[in-house]
Amino acid sequence: MKRLTKLVAGAAAIALATAGCAGSGGGSSDSSGSGDKTLTVWLMSGSAPDTLTDALNKEFEAANSGVTVKYEVQEWGGIQDKLTTALASQDPPDVIELGNTLTPSFSADGVLTDLSGDVADLNGDQWLASLKQSGEWDGKDYATPFYAANRVVLYRTDMFQQAGITATPTSRQEWLDAITKLKATFGSDPQFQPLYLPGQNWYSLLSFIYDEGGNIAEKDGKEFKATVNSPEAKAGLEFYKQLVDASGTTAPKDNDEQNPEQAGIYGQGKVAMMIALPWEVGTAAKDNPDIEKNTSAFPIPSKTAGKTAPVFQGGSNLAIPVNSKNPELAKAYLKLLLSDKYQSQLAEAGMVPGASTDLSALDANPVSKAMAAASKSGNAAPATPKWGTVEAGQNPLKDMMTAYLTGAKDLDTATNDANTALDAAFSG
């Protein structure tokens, strides 16, 4: 999940300050069971506010005499290689954060501790389903959810008002109707776009596929089989094209939402809507401070009136390396971090907590409130160790979208070719 490997492998896109310093390596001192001990914790940059981690570490040390938490903040760039090296060593950190699309690979490699017997102690009855799936491998739990995020439709409240749109869309048809009204009001400006939608925003495409009852892959035993050529997936791709065509967006059909950065385009003041992550409002406001006060959000609408479309959720998990010198202390640390007390603080910081069903703190902001509403129906990427190669390489979903949107391939050819490429990646 490339965008959510930035964010929360997914998370780094959240602009929150973090405590600590860049990681200097693993290591837990004095594992003999007596004397002082050091618990090394690696969390990612942007994952948790320093107010949370400062209080958490202080409380944990107070409750565990002689224990010092060595808290180290890691950067997302190069983290997969760094974790690979650390987890293969005999002296890894004791607690680590993993992007949810990286988790299956490390689980399958046997370098993470089996937490199946500890789920109940780790607030397991409240785990976010999409992240729980990514922490499971071969019937066992190797990671716990930490937090997640999903996309919403960011929109200009002032433009909606001027166009006479009195209520946010609650169905696909209402969404299309809003686009028509916006074009009628502002269409004389050649730079205006009612919806900015790049051709390769496959995270958004997944919402439409899910909404049709489809997916990009299904589990077959321990393996995954691609399903992007199913009737449901095809219907989702057709609606994506309908949105692109209806909006007349000038976004490139052969690139994603980061090239160029869509928040920057939105910030120029000529775009009424974009499908985005909540913190992209802040990115847009860097060049246009006034835009934040005129921006709100609504969940991606379903084809069924009054419902929201299921969303792709990126996020982070927490795990304990199998070679940790202090596995019981590490489990106690996870128990505290996953408690309602600290999960509620994640929600207050604008994230969907991974181990709490209480999302009320997200209601304080209309954008995060929309994310919370949509998050109740979330899915993750296929929980296969091979998914990382899909995103890191020539993503077949992106190729499929560009080919269909540009007319280079018809619907059947584009989806069949993507299906073949995904199956090759899953089995390669």
d(CA 146, CA 353): 7
Q: Mind listing the pLDDT tens digit for each residue in 327-350?
A: 999 999 999 999 999 999 999 999
Cβ atoms of 51 and 65 closer than 8 Å:
no
d(CA 231, CA 236): 9
3-state secondary structure of 24: coil
d(CA 197, CA 189): 18
Burial 317-337 (b: 16+ CB within 10 A, else e): bbbbbbbbbbbebbbbbbeeb
Domain parsing of the chain, residue ranges = 2-149+313-370, 152-312+383-427
Cβ atoms of 141 and 117 closer than 8 Å:
no
What pLDDT is stored for residue 258 in this prediction?
A: 94
Structure tokens at 293: 């006060």
Task: Please give the CATH number for the structural domain made up of 2-149+313-370.
Answer: 3.40.190.10
> Measured over all CA atoms, what is the biggest interatomic distance in the chain, rounded to whole angstroms?
76
Q: Mind listing the pLDDT tens digit for each residue in 148-173?
A: 999 999 999 999 999 999 999 999 99
What pLDDT is stored for residue 35 in this prediction?
A: 59
d(CA 370, CA 319): 29
d(CA 413, CA 200): 17
Question: In 210-339, where do the E strands start and end?
Answer: 217-220, 223-226, 273-276, 295-298, 311-319
Cβ atoms of 112 and 143 closer than 8 Å:
yes
C-alpha angle 58/59/63, rounded to 5°?
120
What pLDDT is stored for residue 19 in this prediction?
A: 27
DSSP 175-233: HHHHHHHHHHHHTTSTT-BS-B--TT-HHHHHHHHHHTT--SEEEETTEEEE-TTSHHH
Please, what are the averages of pLDDT over each run of 10 residues along the chain (428 residues)? 34 30 41 70 95 98 97 94 96 96 94 98 95 93 97 98 98 98 98 98 97 96 93 98 98 97 97 97 94 97 96 96 98 98 95 95 95 93 89 90 98 98 93
Q: Cα separations (Å) of 337 from 17, 59, 147, 326?
A: 18, 10, 11, 17
Topology of domain 152-312+383-427 in CATH is D-Maltodextrin-Binding Protein; domain 2 (3.40.190)
DSSP, res 98 = E
Query: Scanning the structure block, which residue is given the tokens 């981690």?
Result: 53
Q: What phi and psi, each to the nearest 5 degrees, are found at residue 270?
A: -110, 10
Domain 2-149+313-370 shares a fold with domain 152-312+383-427:
yes
d(CA 87, CA 174): 50
DSSP 103-152: HHHHHHTT-B---GGGTGGGTGGG--HHHHHHTEETTEE--EEEEEEE-E
Bridge partner list, 95: 41
Query: Scanning the structure block, which residue is given the tokens 């590490």?
Result: 330
